[in-house]
Chains A and B, each alone.
Chain A
């Protein structure tokens, strides 16, 4: 993975930069020793690593502002970091950058049940947002798989989704307002405690901008009351095509499940060996969850089962209790871990139109044969957000490169059939060089122009999202 050549001027100036940062932060909040900065050398895309110049851990919006002011004055690139769970390398440092971690900004600032929102520091973990409101029966809807660890700052930066976004939407649909610090240190309030912008929808623009427009320090999030109950049904098919057609028919029939999850045989076998959830050994498996009162759940599951029967299912297992529900979900939730037991893997995130599922699954199988790398598929089928897991051996020379090439082919395929490169993980460094597959030169240029408005010097997370070749002029401009 190509990264910009670190600027010698900055490396040579490290002592001065650290000294200035220590003037505005406590001693413990500035990390500069090589043994300690190593902890920040990568995120969950651990194939790429690079310790930063220094790491800062501010505790308040004012401290974030001071840090950014200094870095702005000194011309130091800043890489914002949430919990470091990015699968796309969104928090990958460069040797000449300051990593700005928001972990200490983790307070609950306000809970307003009457207006159904919560305001939190952006370093708060996704799951603990729900934790703060669940005693009153409320929850925060977006639920990325990493929700135990990932924080709101990263969720906003990547516009994170989750298993339940078919019904509840992704981060951008549940965000009311943010406090954000621009690269020059100015603090801007965007949105508020009400719905809809007064002017241009800057909130919608910021959400998903991968930490390139500003550092979000606080966020107001919509909270919802939990439904009375939820229950899944598991349906096995002897072909991926049948499972795909079943998904389409369910959606078309007017039932809107909260989640429709898909697993193929390689994934099912791996999770069975790992979690022993009792899944049948079939070509494709759907887990479909519906919500509501008992009678509603029965009604909806009845309808889903009726539709599924038209597609010759091998097995239908309707959950009758909380224990059975947990068992059905156990395998799905362990899927990534189970695949990781077999080998190293690369997790893709392309989204395709649901109607193209059978075609894309067939093409992935063909590519798998061509490259000689196994692939497991586990994904959110209701919204077409695929997660092919390509297995490779990190210790085998050339295997990672082969895997990356195959991943790129799969993502090109996703775009070809009308989809996109990334549905919820973000572009980061991982898919940066594929952006031209989805967007024209002008399409990308207008996005670069947006960054020019927020960060004219291109100091915030500058080496991400866009191919380096088209951002070089902006990043290397002498200021």
Chain B
């Protein structure tokens, strides 16, 4: 363990002087990929550098605890609109998630279906590459096409291209209230159809999920509406009429209860207490039911569908290869929780087409010529 990194210059010095592989760690709550190197902790790069509520902009050191940022935004009635998932319950971690880790893993939540992912709210980055160069890209303004968009590239690169030192994020007003429209008893195929009809309506759905075993036990399809009180009430009514064919529809008007439901979905609470591996599968929504069917037939898997069916959280017996069910279906599967043996055996990240793999490897060779930043972390088998 090296000395605490407190400035960008420290970070640059440590990376430039490193003689072997480094494992980059923010809050240490989302250790998804496999790494083996000396730990490089960014927690010392902490602190909100700028917050302008009227410009919807926040700039913070990469090591800043996410909780601190969310609390600060709440004082102004604002929030991170992409609703980043908290991995701690699912992965059994206890640390404090950092904003840099969130960006490095491009972590989003149920509102992704409407607002976009973490990468869509990333206005700019500062980072240190594998040679120790201090670099920046983007900035702190909402529209910026000056040069290549390396901020997007850094989001979701899991520290394999550089170590983030500072991030700029677009924030949005927190909704005045939320309401959940709930349908019980649907199978996955009907649920995805209902979610598709809702998401394709003018009623501005901010989340759409389905769980064969929902928060209260029964199969539940969940749709969220957010905004001003009066608007939410109106749209909930219209949405109920719109989805009449799917049977009895309950409207949960309590903002607190609705918040609990979506935290359950966001953090995949359904699998917190269960043993087994957890996979994260992304497909186009209408392929969701077929993928789910195969997973249940093959592994008796537990499922939670988010993003209208396009994101499937999967619980399978330890060591199962959930990725195998994707044959013939466009999409990708990542191991979110498993033993290191299983991760090593099946590969955490999926294989991509040969050209994309070649271009990705080419980029890594430019950003990290010595191959010392989380080496191999995103490599497929």
Contacts and interface: CB of A to CB of B under 8 A. Distances in A.
B10 interface: no
Interface string B189-230: 000010010011110100000000000000000000001101
A422 interface: yes
A226 B201 CA distance: 8
Interface string A346-382: 0000011111000000000000000000000000100
A162 B371 CA distance: 40
A67 interface: no
Contacts of A192: 284, 330-331
Contacts of B360: 199-200, 202
Contact of B283 (A116, A158, A194): A194
B3 interface: no
Contacts of B147: 427, 435, 438-439, 443-444, 447, 465-466
B136 to A, nearest CB: 6
Nearest to A224: B200
Interface in B302-335: 307, 310-311, 330-332, 334
Interface stretch (B252-260, B266-274, B351-359): B351-359
A159 B149 contact: yes
Interface SS majority for chain A: loop
A426 interface: yes
A452 interface: yes
A273 interface: no
Nearest to B153: A205
A197 B76 CA distance: 33
A168 to B, nearest CB: 10
B234 A295 contact: yes
B144 A202 contact: no
Nearest to B199: A116
Contacts of A256: 172-173
A473 interface: no
A36 interface: no
Contacts of B231: 292-293, 295-296, 299
Contacts of B230: 295-296, 299
A159 B143 CA distance: 10
Given A209-B148, A293-B231, A199 B378 contact: yes
A10 B268 CA distance: 60
Interface stretch (A44-52, A182-190, A398-406): A182-190
B143 A252 contact: no
B178 interface: no
Contact of B120 (A173, A296, A443): A173
A61 interface: no
Contacts of B137: 443, 446-447
A225 B239 CA distance: 14
B165 interface: no
B55 to A, nearest CB: 4
Contacts of B133: 442, 446
Interface string A424-440: 11110001000100111
A248 B141 contact: no
Interface stretch (A20-28, A98-106, A231-239, A413-421): A413-421
A443 B135 contact: yes
Contacts of A115: 196, 284-286, 310
Interface stretch (B17-25, B39-47, B361-369): B361-369
A419 B156 contact: no
Nearest to A248: B54
Interface hub of B148, B307, B366 (most chain A Cβ within 10 A): B148
A293 B331 CA distance: 36
Interface residues of B, number: 83
B200 A113 contact: yes
Interface string A448-472: 0110111000000000011000000
Given A198-B282, A200-B153, A254 B173 contact: yes
A439 to B, nearest CB: 6
A190 to B, nearest CB: 6
A194 B282 CA distance: 7
Interface stretch (B85-93, B94-102, B111-119): B111-119
Interface hub of B196, B231, B235, B307 (most chain A Cβ within 10 A): B231
Interface string B162-201: 0000000000111010000000000000000100100111
B105 to A, nearest CB: 11
A458 to B, nearest CB: 14
Nearest to B144: A420
A138 B202 CA distance: 9
A188 B359 CA distance: 10
A66 interface: no
A115 B113 CA distance: 11
Contact of B204 (A201, A255, A292, A426): A292
A198 B202 contact: no
A236 B254 CA distance: 40
B152 A205 contact: yes
Given A446-B366, A450-B148, 6 more contacts: A188-B359, A201-B153, A208-B149, A293-B234, A418-B140, A439-B146
Task: In the A-B complex, list the 9 residue pairs whose CB atoms are closest, starting with the nearest.
Answer: A204-B152, A248-B54, A423-B143, A198-B332, A254-B173, A453-B362, A383-B142, A188-B355, A449-B366
6 contacts: A200-B156, A201-B119, A205-B150, A254-B173, A293-B235, A447-B150
Interface of B: 52-57, 76-77, 106, 112-113, 116-117, 119-120, 129, 133-137, 139-150, 152-153, 155-157, 161, 172-174, 176, 193, 196, 199-202, 204, 227-228, 230-231, 234-235, 238, 282-286, 307, 310-311, 330-332, 334, 349-350, 352-353, 355-357, 359-360, 362-363, 366-367, 378
Interface of A: 112-116, 137-138, 158-159, 161, 165-166, 169-170, 172-173, 182, 186, 188-190, 192-205, 207-209, 225-228, 248-249, 251-256, 292-293, 295-296, 299-300, 351-355, 380, 383-385, 418-427, 431, 435, 438-440, 442-444, 446-447, 449-450, 452-454, 465-466
